[in-house]
Amino acid sequence: MRKIEAIFRPERLLAVKNALFEEGFISLTLTEVKGRGVQGGIIERYRGNEYLVDLLPKVKIEIVSNDSDVEKIVKLISENAVTGKPGDGKIFVIPVEDVIRIRTNETGKDAI
């Protein structure tokens, strides 16, 4: 099992979510986050003054899946989150040792 964490622009959320749902990947966790990558932020202008906005709004989705689905999920996210501009985000794939469904005590793949 693997946990896929994807952090990307909030305006791409609907496209990513719809693409995942259409392929049957319904379960996910969404968190609104702020952060920055190597670009370090952006310069905003307000009433003639410049301000460095170094923590930009992003969304983070987390999906735990079987190993066999990881490539497909990563591809769906990559294709639908991209704008081609700096700050498009990152995808992390992390091993998951076990999963336990609290309601039924199912474990492993049965609990996903």
* pLDDT tens-digit readout, 7-65: 999 999 999 999 999 999 999 999 999 988 777 666 777 788 777 777 889 999 999 99
Kindly state the tokens that stand for 8: 């990307």
pTM, rounded to two decimals: 0.85
Percent composition of the chain: helix, strand, coil (DSSP 3-state, to 5) = 30, 40, 35
Look at the alpha carbons of 5, 7, 10, 16 in this order and tell me if their dihedral is positive or negative: negative
pLDDT on residue 43: 72
**What 3-state DSSP class applies to 6?**
strand
Q: What gap in Å lies between CA 72 and CA 112, rounded to an integer?
A: 17
Domains, the chain, with CATH or none: 2-111 (3.30.70.120)
